[in-house]
Amino acid sequence: MEHLNVFGQPVITCSNTPLTGFFRDGCCNSDSRDHGNHAVCAVMTDDFLQFSLAQGNDLITPRPEFNFTGLKAGDRWCLCAARWKEAFELGCAPKVILEATHERCLEVVSIDELILHAFKAVDNARV
pLDDT tens for each residue of 93-102: 999 999 999 9
Q: Which class does domain 1-127 fall in?
A: alpha beta
Residue 46: what pLDDT?
Answer: 97
Average pLDDT over residues 79-94: 97
The gap between the terminal CA atoms of the chain, to the nearest Å, is: 23
pLDDT at 82: 97
Kind of pairing, strands 95-96 and 76-79?
A: unpaired
Distance, in Å, from the CA atom of 110 to the CA atom of 81, rounded to the nearest integer, reads 10
pTM of the model: 0.91
Q: How far apart are CA 51 and CA 57, in angstroms?
A: 9
Residue 81's nearest CA partner among 55, 63, 107 is 107
Helices (H), the chain: 46-54, 81-89, 111-116
pLDDT of 127 above 60: no
Measured in degrees and rounded to the nearest 5, phi and psi for residue 63 equal -130, 80
